[in-house]
Structure 1
Amino acid sequence: MASESQQQHYKKLKLLLKELPWYVEEYIDHKRRKLSAASLLNYCHDYKIFFNWIVSEQLFTDEPKNIPLDLLEKLTVQQVEGFLYALEYELNNKEITVNRKLSALKSLFNYLQNIAETKDLKPYIQRNVMAKIEFNEIKESMETIANKMEGKILLGDEYERFRRFVAHDYGETIQDNKKRQNFYKLNQERDIAIISLILGSGLRLSELVNLDLDDIDFSKYSARVIRKGNKEQYVFFSKIAMDDLQEYLKIREKRYHVDKNNKALFVAAPMGPKGKSRRLTARSIEKMIEKYAKAFGKPALSVHKLRHSFATRYHSEINDVPKLRRQLGHSSIQTTMIYTHIRNDDLRSAVDKMDIPKE
């Protein structure tokens, strides 16, 4: 069963596809079983930029959704390079972002040339210009990326200090603001549970948002998540994260007036005339982290930076890249290797070394 977040993505996807050529919808249907709704939506945003560019360059004089297949077949290498140039220098996309958009286009064009067939069993396009386009070489080394990341994540004793700050010390910084004090007290257990879970597992924001009560295995200290590509996986988390989560669950139903049919793990306080609690949104979690990070004196912290913080500490304790790759859900081990280049002097107390109780 699709989560609320996935359902919202599919609604947005359906609307966006109306602005794109028919063969894009066919391609998306082909990919629907293999990719998440969020990934498909990102692909379509990339395609919209590309097809709008074709119209803006007057390569086609009608609406983008009417661009025919034969136009794609006739695009030159120089024209596609011009599009990539516009992405980087006019839209200020980073090289890695340009590569991602190019990858999306390569996948679409490959489908049109090598997978899709007409009634006569012929490919939709004979010539695939995207096959001739090379990806940008990413100039930054792993060391450079790691060094940039290092100042924006939690290292050493900051890891536990930030958790304790959210759990206790933040309240002291807002003593003069009764409204903020009340809001903090209302959500204190929930907020620390969220932060502990990210710091104790490295979950992505989307994975955290979509967690249901039934996804938590309390005996194995693990959570069932749907990773990129709609892959189901059980992700382990630390004992501290479990302790904080159980403290939140003690007050979840009564404090948030949770309907018994609401299985969302993290919920927001009731709002509106009906007064029903609802699943906490991704943006709400982002804003919550931003609030605590700023008060802590490390405003660059974000949900993703907390995930990086977990990965850095895990590597310093466990020093097992394949296991870390699986824990983070990386498709490429090269992405995981970045954490081997980050210095971390705190080798004493990490994620309980992912200690799992014996059954």
Structure 2
Amino acid sequence: MTNQSQQIYKKLQILLKDLPWYVEEYINHKKRKLSAASLLNYAHDYKIFFNWLIDEEVFNGKITEVPLELLESLTVQQAEGFLSYLQYQLNNKEITVNRKLSALKSLFNYLQNIAETRDLKPYLQRNVMAKIEFNEIKDSMETIANKIEGKILIGDEYEKFRQFIAYDYGLQIKENKKLYNFHLLNRERDTAIVSLILGSGLRLSEVVNLNLDDIDYSKYTARVIRKGNKEQFVYFSKLAMDDLQEYLSIRESKYQVDKSNKALFIAAAMGPKGKPRRLTARSIEKLIEKYAAAFGKPSLSVHKLRHSFATRYHNEINDVPKLRRQLGHSSIQTTMIYTHIRNDDLRHAVDKMDLPKDEA
């Protein structure tokens, strides 16, 4: 287990102390199947739900005291009321409401169909969440694809953005010595991070958790732990390997990192007594935001770089099952979105409709 996962599990254990006993039992049941981050998200969702029960006076007492009998007696109207609260008071998008509902459905299903008392009876006889339907997401795949397309790197922008981080950004901020020196320290690392995501489609958490020995330098693969704690070796591009090798050549000298520190991407020590440490997810998000804004494409994010890779992969290889495996999607429907981005053949066919017959 990585240090990051251990930290997440610690946060999870603290959060579980504020939730009913059967939630902790459910989380323990799911530990083999879900990542630490997913379990922590589930626990946060449950806390919102139980807080709502108390705020609405469905239950008077502490969250830890909410009995199974209360869950069993919840009405459909009350469950729908919670979803309305998420959407209209917390301003959650429909897809976020669906995610929180999915978490509740999973918990209630466990309580009704998996968990059992000593006399072999289910914890719940009645499951109100089984009666609640998910929000129908109004956007079609084409609409989602169109929204993504305007926010990702297309065509020669891949290399332009990479070159911008490696060289042009430094020229842009050269007059500010503090910023310029900070960039000189981190440009090989930052270029390698962006190049790796653009050359593999790795998730942010997967990049953060990479260790030195996770990279296979002969096969151009990175060992990652995907959702559901599944180990996978993910291919990345030769260009990403070149940038990674350049970063590794200066990693120890620039960051003064001890050989016992196996984290691939390092943050410099803070202060005279600080030690080099693993670069955090938020730090990577912030550095992408910084470069994206200076590049003139502020909508770029780590996830948009992943979208950029997937779009390029599909355009060049057009193999959805392979792309699904590369991205680690559990559902092929998620991967199918990329078949709707930059469909140049379709656009060309439509354009030809307006041409005279002898030009078409």
Structure 1 position 221, deviation (Å)? 0.4
Structure 2 CA distance for aligned equivalents of residues 79 and 53 of structure 1: 10
Structure 2 unaligned blocks of 5 or more: 346-360
Look up the equivalent residue of 1:105 and give its one-letter code.
Answer: L
Structure 1 position 340, deviation (Å)? 0.6
Q: After the TM superposition, which of the residue ranges 265-274 and 39-48 deviates more from structure 2?
A: 265-274
Aligned to 2:298: 299
Structure 2 CA distance for aligned equivalents of residues 35 and 194 of structure 1: 26
Aligned to 2:354: none
Look up the equivalent residue of 1:314 and give its one-letter code.
Answer: Y
* 1:268–1:278 Cα contact (<8 Å) kept: yes
Question: Residue deviations 1:112-132, cap 9 Å, x none?
Answer: 011111111111111011111
Residue correspondence of structure 1 range 1-12 to structure 2 within 5 A: 2-12=1-11
Residue correspondence of structure 1 range 306-321 to structure 2 within 5 A: 306-321=305-320
Structure 2 CA distance for aligned equivalents of residues 120 and 255 of structure 1: 63
Aligned to 1:163: 162
* 1:156–1:345 Cα contact (<8 Å) kept: no
Look up the equivalent residue of 2:44 and give its one-letter code.
Answer: H
Structure 1 position 273, deviation (Å)? 4.3
Residue correspondence of structure 1 range 1-359 to structure 2 within 5 A: 2-343=1-342
Count of residue pairs brought into register by the alignment: 345
Q: Helix, strand or coil: the match of 2:269?
A: strand
Structure 1 position 147, deviation (Å)? 0.5
Structure 1 position 271, deviation (Å)? 2.1
Structure 2 CA distance for aligned equivalents of residues 312 and 253 of structure 1: 35
Question: Residue deviations 1:28-78, cap 9 Å, x none?
Answer: 011111111000000000000100010011000101121000000000001
* 1:155–1:344 Cα contact (<8 Å) kept: no
Structure 1 unaligned blocks of 5 or more: 347-359
Q: Helix, strand or coil: the match of 1:100?
A: helix
**TM-score, normalised with respect to structure 1:** 0.95
* 1:114–1:123 Cα contact (<8 Å) kept: yes
Q: Helix, strand or coil: the match of 1:232?
A: strand
User: Equivalent pairs: percent with the same residue?
Assistant: 80
Q: Helix, strand or coil: the match of 2:223?
A: strand
Aligned to 2:350: none
Look up the equivalent residue of 2:188 and give its one-letter code.
Answer: E
Structure 1 position 255, deviation (Å)? 1.0
Q: Which runs of 4+ in 1 moved over 4 A?
A: none
Structure 2 CA distance for aligned equivalents of residues 282 and 302 of structure 1: 12
Structure 1 CA distance for aligned equivalents of residues 98 and 274 of structure 2: 45
Structure 1 CA distance for aligned equivalents of residues 250 and 286 of structure 2: 22
Q: Helix, strand or coil: the match of 2:276?
A: strand
Aligned to 1:353: none
Aligned to 2:348: none
Q: Helix, strand or coil: the match of 2:222?
A: strand
Look up the equivalent residue of 1:338 and give its one-letter code.
Answer: I
Root-mean-square deviation over aligned CA pairs? 1.1
Structure 1 CA distance for aligned equivalents of residues 128 and 19 of structure 2: 20
Q: Helix, strand or coil: the match of 1:270?
A: coil
* 1:202–1:328 Cα contact (<8 Å) kept: yes
Look up the equivalent residue of 1:61 and give its one-letter code.
Answer: N
**TM-score, normalised with respect to structure 2:** 0.94
Q: Helix, strand or coil: the match of 1:226?
A: strand
Structure 1 CA distance for aligned equivalents of residues 287 and 178 of structure 2: 16
Question: Residue deviations 1:240-278, cap 9 Å, x none?
Answer: 000000000000011111111100000011224434211
